[in-house]
């Protein structure tokens, strides 16, 4: 019998209320598979507020505390402090927030939690816009993407600005561990979560979370698009442990970004020139990452 | 019991220590800061074995308390003015999540213009957030009320957060002799928090959740009932505290010389002490005057006010803040609660002492004089300067 590389245990139930093909459900499922049953989940306003199902039901086998949109980092610190004060041992406190709740409105509380060295896990599931409110641009929306607040029209070509590099912001706090994960690469995902489980201190995951309605692609393509994101270097997989950067999936030759962009309606308007500019952005980011890896102490 | 000389702020700190708070989360702001500095000393020395989270904002301070309370910890924070306003979203969150947090608030004016001095606009503008609100008159009352507030907030029938306020500088930075109960006495009065209602490890459960229109209103109604019930529970708790310490602060609306009084002034916070001396002076001159202290603003003592109105023909309300477009908030609430009274006294609103302006005996004498005369405007700004003197420098 083949050896299982993904823990068989499930801590998330079917019957949740996510859209078909939702990447965020896989992020939750893999995070819990890795961290196990002694987890407390705190969730701000985001898709998962709704995915978790309304009162009095819940889609998780672990306890879940809703917190304010911009306060996930503080909620993690509060739960950790209470667990310590009450002598609750062997518990992992996890904040599970979207990209808007992390990169934009929640950035201060995230910074506070990292700076305080709170022993907890912060997961940013990144679907690259405010999806729960209906696809408005966030700081994590990539350049060129259509959203409802960056429409495509005569005077507008989707989002004009680049995606905020949240991993770099997190890395500047020198956390115990930070990693990018992608639902299309569950083995890499779980390896990192299982490693983080054994580390104390602040740990951060930037989880790539494709969104069929927001990105305008058919729900069955979530994994294919996730794979393309990493194989085109749009979303490289790497980890930063004790200041050391390590790329965990490196291809001999990356696929052209065009393949990733053309698979999604949100990029459907882009011209050859615009795609070339995005390719240049992606190449530059990849070079910076290689340089960071090469300059490890 | 030991008698100590304490500022109002340190009375908060000692009360938090005696309550054996388990998680403190706070952010500095004048004039609150010495509360959490002192608690920091208690934690650093090991006198208070608690987790102290030094957060990056008041918003995070309250979120951390809410989350800690959800797991069953006894939590405390303190703030003032702008800090309280930044917390506004989470003040609602705390009551909605039924987190029995106790918070010390030093009443300070709201900017602009900047002012660090006494004014009730900060807490008055949070009156609809579902927090119990107590306004203290003395440092002794600060210490006692914080202990009472923990027991009330955590009562199974209440489960609501509570704020205990004190006037900036008049209490926060003024020292007075304070009787500090012993730890054993407090332990007998305030046992460890019942964790029965918190989140449990390895147990599916969710606090905060979301509801459809078939449920939300019932959640709100439960808070309304709990707030009503808190007035009854407070009576039991204050009796217990009285048995233990010999002190009783008189519930939500303690009164002074209101028997046979024609005119009663309703006060909040430190203005009460000055008003009490004015009542004595006027009584000595044969004037039938008295005062009632709005110690509790939430729950609002409507029943007690209707009782008071049975005898008083004129009731004045001293408001140390103003609700623009209406009147002082204490006045409008007093007026609302007396509308259904059998006997409806004449009502006047006296707005004074904003932004730390001294409320002198003379100002308060003027209020009584105005109250005893028939007529006069419904709302009077009692200590407004006729002419602002601007000193030009340089």
Chain mean pLDDT for chain B: 96
Please give the structure tokens belonging to residue A186. 């569950």
Domain-wise residue ranges, chain B: 2-191+209-245, 255-381
Other beta carbons within 10 Å of A25: 23
The CATH topology of domain B255-381 is Rossmann fold (3.40.50)
Q: Which of B50, B71, B87, B200 to mutate to test the interface with A (most CBs of A within 10 A)?
A: B71
pLDDT, one tens digit per residue, over B71-126 is 999 999 999 999 999 999 999 999 999 999 999 999 999 999 999 999 999 999 99
How do residues B288-306 score in pLDDT, each as one tens digit?
A: 999 999 999 999 999 999 9
Residue B194's CB is within 10 A of a number of other CB atoms, namely 11
Interface of B with A in 6-35 (CB under 8 A): 22-23, 25
Q: Measure the N-to-C terminal CA separation of chain B; round to a whole number of Å.
A: 55
What is the distance in angstroms between the Cα of B330 and the nearest Cα belonging to chain A?
31
User: pTM score, two decimals?
Assistant: 0.97
Report chain B residues whose CB lies below 8 A from the CB of A63.
199-201, 203-206
Candidates A26, A47, A53; CA nearest to A209 is A26
CB pairs under 8 A between A and B: 154
Q: Do domains B2-191+209-245 and B255-381 have the same CATH topology?
A: yes
Chain A: closest CA distance from residue B123 (Å): 21
CATH number at residue A145: 3.40.50.970
Given pLDDT bands bounded at 50, 70 and 90, which one contains residue A296? Answer: confident
- Give residues with Cβ within 8 angstroms of A66, minimum separation 6: A42, A43, A44, A49, B97, B206, B207, B208, B209, B210
The answer to whether the beta carbons of residues B89 and B61 sit under 8 Å apart is no
CATH code of domain B2-191+209-245 = 3.40.50.970
Question: Nearest 5 degrees, angle CA A196-CA A199-CA A203?
Answer: 60
Q: Which residue of B has its CA nearest to A79?
A: B68
* Tally of CB atoms within 10 A around B372: 16
Question: Mean per-residue pLDDT for B248-262?
Answer: 97
Q: Using an 8 Å Cβ cutoff, are B75 and B24 in contact?
A: yes
Q: Does B48 touch chain A if contact means CB atoms closer than 8 Å?
A: no
Query: Which of A51, A71, A91, A107 should we substitute to test contact with B (largest number of B Cβ atoms within 10 Å)?
Result: A71
Alpha-carbon gap, residue B202 to A39, rounded angstroms: 7
Considering only alpha carbons, which residue of chain B is nearest residue A52?
B209
Residues in chain B with CB shorter than 8 Å from the CB of A75 are: 63-64, 66-67
Cβ atoms of B142 and B126 within 8 Å: the answer is no
* Interchain CB distance below 8 Å, A66 and B207: yes
Chain B: closest CA distance from residue A282 (Å): 34
Nearest to B104 by CA among B166, B20, B58: B166
Which band of pLDDT confidence, cut at 50, 70 and 90, is reported for residue A4? confident
Q: Are B105 and B36 in contact (CB under 8 A)?
A: no
* B321-364 tens-digit pLDDT: 999 999 999 999 999 999 999 889 999 999 999 999 999 999 99
| Beta carbons of A114 and A177 less than 8 angstroms apart | no
Strand-pairing partners, residue A238, are: A247
Is residue A250 situated within a structural domain? yes
Residues with Cβ within 8 Å of residue B205, at least 6 apart in sequence: A58, A63, A64, B199
Residue A1 has pLDDT above 80, yes or no: no
The band of B390, judged by pLDDT with boundaries at 50, 70 and 90, is: confident
Beta carbons of A74 and B70 less than 8 Å apart:
no
In a domain, A137, yes or no: yes
d(CA B279, CA B273): 10
How far is B365 from B383, CA to CA, in rounded Å?
11
- C-beta atoms of B63 and A84 within 8 A: no
> A241-267 burial by CB neighbour count: b if 16+ within 10 A, else e?
beeebebbeeeeebeebbebbebbebb
Q: What confidence tens digit (pLDDT) does each residue in A244-272 have?
A: 999 999 988 999 999 999 999 999 999 99
Q: Which residue among B68, B208, B211 sits closest to A81, beta carbon to beta carbon? A: B68
Maximal C-alpha separation, chain A:
61
Contact B71 A60 (CB under 8 A): no
The pLDDT confidence band at residue A5, using thresholds 50, 70 and 90, is confident
Q: How far apart are the CA of A241 and the nearest CA of chain B, in angstroms?
A: 25
The Cα-based distances of A105 to A70, A99, A111, A184, B214 in angstroms read 5, 9, 12, 27, 30
Report in angstroms the alpha-carbon separations of A215 from A127, A263, A269, B361: 9, 9, 13, 69
% pLDDT > 70, chain A: 99
| Chain A contact set for B203 (CB, 8 A) | 63
Domain count, chain A: 1
Shortest Cα–Cα distance, A126 to chain B (Å): 22
Which positions in chain B touch A50 (Cβ < 8 Å)? 210
| CB–CB contact A54 B212 (8 Å) | yes
Owning domain of residue A159: 23-294
| pLDDT tier at A161, thresholds 50, 70, 90 | very high
pLDDT of residue B393: 66
Rounded Cα gap, residues A33 and A26, in angstroms: 10
Structure-token pair, residue B16: 């938090």
A62 contacts on B by Cβ (under 8 Å): 202, 204
* pLDDT surpasses 90 at B391: no
Q: State pLDDT tens for residues A14-43.
A: 999 999 999 999 999 999 999 999 999 999
Q: Which of these ranges, A3-12, A275-284, B255-264, has the smallest mean pLDDT?
A: A3-12
The answer as to whether A73 is a domain residue is: yes
Residues in chain A with CB shorter than 8 Å from the CB of B60 are 71, 73-74, 77, 108-109, 112
Please give the structure tokens belonging to residue B254.
Answer: 């303690």
A195 closest CA partner among A209, A181, A210: A181
């Amino acid at each position: 019998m083949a050896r299982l590389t993904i823990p068989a245990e499930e801590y998330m139930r079917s019957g949740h209320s996510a859209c078909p093909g939702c990447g965020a459900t896989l992020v939750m499922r893999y995070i819990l598979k890795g961290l196990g049953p002694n987890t407390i989940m705190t969730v701000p306003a985001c898709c998962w507020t709704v995915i978790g199902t309304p009162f009095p039901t819940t889609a998780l086998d672990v306890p879940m505390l809703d917190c304010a949109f911009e306060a996930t980092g503080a909620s993690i610190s509060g739960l950790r402090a209470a667990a310590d004060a009450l002598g609750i041992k062997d518990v992992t406190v996890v904040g599970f927030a979207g990209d808007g709740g992390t990169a934009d409105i929640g950035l201060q509380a995230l910074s506070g939690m990292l700076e305080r060295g709170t022993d907890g896990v912060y997961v940013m599931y990144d679907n690259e816009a405010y999806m729960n409110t209906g696809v408005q641009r966030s700081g994590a929306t990539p350049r060129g993407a259509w959203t409802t607040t960056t429409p495509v029209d005569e005077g507008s070509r989707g989002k004009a600005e680049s995606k905020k590099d949240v991993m770099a912001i997190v890395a500047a706090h020198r956390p115990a561990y930070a990693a990018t994960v992608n639902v299309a690469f569950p083995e890499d995902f779980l390896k990192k979560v299982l490693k983080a489980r054994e580390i104390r201190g602040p740990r951060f995951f930037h989880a790539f979370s494709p969104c069929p309605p927001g990105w305008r692609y058919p729900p069955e393509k979530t994994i294919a698009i996730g794979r393309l994101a990493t194989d085109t270097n749009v979303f490289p997989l790497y980890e930063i442990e004790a200041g050391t950067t390590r790329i965990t999936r490196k291809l001999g030759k990356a696929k052209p970004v065009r393949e990733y962009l053309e698979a999604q309606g949100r990029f459907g308007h882009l011209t050859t020139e615009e795609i070339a500019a995005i390719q240049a952005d992606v190449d530059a980011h990849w070079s910076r990452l290689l340089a960071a890896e090469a300059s490890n102490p | 019991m030991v008698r100590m000389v304490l500022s109002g702020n340190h009375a908060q700190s000692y009360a938090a220590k005696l309550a054996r708070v388990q998680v403190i989360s706070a952010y500095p702001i004048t004039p609150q800061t010495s509360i959490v500095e002192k608690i920091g000393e208690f934690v650093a020395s090991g006198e208070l074995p608690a987790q102290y989270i030094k957060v990056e904002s008041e918003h995070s301070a309250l979120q951390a308390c809410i989350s800690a309370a959800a797991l069953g910890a006894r939590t405390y924070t303190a703030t003032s003015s702008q800090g309280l306003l930044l917390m506004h979203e989470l003040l609602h969150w705390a009551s909605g999540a039924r987190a029995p947090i106790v918070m010390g608030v030093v009443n300070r004016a709201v900017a602009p213009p900047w002012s660090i001095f006494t004014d009730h606009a900060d807490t008055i503008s949070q009156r609809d957030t579902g927090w119990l609100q107590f306004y203290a008159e003395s440092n002794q009352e600060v210490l006692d009320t914080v202990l009472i507030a923990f027991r009330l907030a955590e009562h199974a029938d209440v489960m609501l957060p509570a704020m205990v306020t004190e006037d900036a500088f008049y209490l926060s930075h003024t020292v007075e002799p304070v009787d500090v109960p012993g730890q054993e006495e407090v332990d007998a009065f305030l046992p460890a928090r019942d964790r029965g209602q918190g989140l449990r490890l390895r147990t599916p459960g969710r606090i905060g959740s979301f509801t459809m229109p078939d449920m939300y209103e019932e959640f709100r109604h439960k808070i309304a009932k709990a707030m009503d019930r808190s007035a009854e529970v407070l009576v039991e708790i204050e009796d217990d505290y009285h048995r233990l310490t010999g002190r009783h602060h008189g519930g939500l609306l303690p009164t002074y010389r209101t028997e046979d009084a024609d005119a009663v002034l309703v006060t909040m916070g430190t203005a009460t002490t000055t008003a009490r001396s004015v009542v004595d002076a006027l009584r000595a001159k044969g004037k039938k005057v008295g005062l009632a202290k709005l110690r509790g603003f939430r729950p609002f003592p409507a029943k007690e006010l209707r009782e008071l109105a049975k005898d008083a023909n004129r009731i004045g309300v001293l408001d140390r803040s103003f609700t623009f477009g209406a009147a002082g908030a204490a006045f409008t609430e007093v007026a609302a609660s007396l509308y259904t009274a059998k006997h409806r006294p004449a009502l006047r609103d006296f707005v004074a002492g904003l932004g730390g302006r001294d409320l002198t005996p003379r100002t308060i004498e003027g209020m009584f004089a105005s109250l005893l005369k028939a007529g006069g405007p419904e709302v009077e700004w009692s200590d407004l300067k006729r002419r602002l003197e601007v000193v030009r420098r340089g």
